């Protein structure tokens, strides 16, 4: 695991005023660099087998605010949820295209970097996150084979470098690192692209394919890692009293702006999606003995098996993925 150094050496870890939307300043921060709620990380209840003679140990369930800015919850809530969504779409849409006779090839992880003089830290604005994406999409369409590409893109304003200034692409690197301003986009998706030297000569953009050491790209693990240090745009808004509905003078809370990832090309929302066939909740069974799991109270560091709160259930959903085919655009897509 990487060792994070003193924030003074990379001030981008602290909120930086990048723009202004409405009356409130917009900041860009790393995930987990916001504030936590009072309940975050506290135990809600314990889950144990309904058969108290079972050898399965109780599991503690914690409060999770599911905010990517929360230093306590982001790695166990927001980031896993978004990673699962992206993985499901990348694999689900791939299968939907395959059923229509279109095979997109292997999943690739590519880093696209614009000319470094295109943006500076001083004039960077929240809407330029969208601008750089538009420029990337135009380039992908031009330099991909027959214009066929599709994937998820995650924007990073900072680069992770070793202390000697050399770049680091190894998520398992144990050397000390620093974060420096260097906007780039991570692309996880499909497609075949023109040679990087040609793209650089004609556009000034640089792209580099990141190969997985194990030989097989796993979407969830890759996306999870990328989302732990993506750009999170936030702004401070006034706190409103829940009783009087009046603005509390001098108090503000931090809210996120926009989405922290997006889809492009054949993975875009307009190209297809998931159709829900069935959904509901189901009781979770014990992996050891097969009995129903129950929720129990947790007080003073102990599980209270005499405080049964009912069966432990989880939501489920059965979906099918589909592709939107329009006769007018079929030739353009394929």
| pTM (2 d.p.) | 0.83
User: What tens digit of pLDDT does each residue of 230-248 get?
Assistant: 988 888 788 887 788 888 8
Whole-number pLDDT of residue 125: 62
**Residue whose pair of structure tokens reads 């229509």 in the numeric block:** 100
Contact assessment for residue 185 and residue 143, using Cβ atoms and an 8 Å cutoff: no
**Could you tell me the pLDDT band of residue 153, with boundaries at 50, 70 and 90?**
very high
Contact assessment for residue 307 and residue 296, using Cβ atoms and an 8 Å cutoff: yes
**Cα–Cα dist 169/27, whole Å:** 26
Whole-number pLDDT of residue 314: 94
Number of domains in the chain: 1
Range of the domain at 112: 3-333
Take residue 321 and report the two structure tokens written for it: 């993925």
Q: What is the mean pLDDT of residues 126-139?
A: 81
**Residue whose pair of structure tokens reads 């791939």 in the numeric block:** 94
């Amino acid at each position: 695991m990487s060792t994070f150094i003193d924030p003074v050496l990379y001030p981008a870890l602290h909120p930086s005023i990048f723009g202004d939307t409405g009356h409130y300043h917009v900041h860009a921060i790393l995930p987990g660099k916001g504030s936590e709620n009072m309940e975050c990380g506290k135990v809600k209840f314990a889950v144990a087998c309904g058969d108290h003679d079972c050898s399965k140990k109780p599991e503690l369930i914690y409060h999770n605010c599911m905010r990517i800015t929360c230093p306590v919850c982001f790695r166990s809530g927001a980031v896993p949820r978004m990673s699962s969504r992206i993985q499901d779409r990348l694999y689900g849409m791939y299968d939907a295209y395959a059923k229509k006779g279109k095979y997109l090839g292997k999943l690739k992880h590519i880093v696209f970097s614009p000319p470094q003089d295109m943006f500076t830290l001083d004039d960077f604005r929240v809407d330029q996150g969208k601008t750089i994406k538009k420029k990337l999409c135009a380039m992908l369409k031009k330099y991909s084979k027959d214009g066929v590409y599709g994937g998820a893109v995650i924007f990073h304003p900072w680069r992770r470098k070793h202390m000697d200034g050399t770049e680091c692409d190894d998520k398992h690197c144990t050397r000390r690192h620093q974060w420096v301003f260097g906007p780039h986009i991570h692309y996880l998706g499909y497609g075949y692209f023109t040679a990087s030297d040609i793209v650089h000569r004609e556009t000034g953009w640089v792209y580099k394919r990141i190969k997985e050491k194990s030989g097989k790209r796993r979407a969830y693990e890759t996306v999870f890692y990328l989302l732990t240090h993506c750009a999170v745009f936030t702004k401070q808004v006034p706190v409103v009293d829940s009783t009087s509905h009046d603005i509390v003078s001098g108090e503000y809370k931090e809210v996120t702006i926009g989405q922290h990832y997006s889809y492009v090309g054949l993975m875009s929302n307009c190209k297809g999606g998931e159709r829900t066939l069935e959904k509901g909740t189901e009781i979770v069974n014990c992996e050891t003995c097969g009995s129903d799991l129950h929720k129990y109270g947790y007080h003073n560091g102990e599980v209270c098996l005499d405080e049964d709160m009912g069966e432990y259930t989880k939501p489920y959903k059965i979906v099918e993925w589909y592709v939107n085919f329009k006769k007018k655009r079929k030739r353009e897509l394929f």
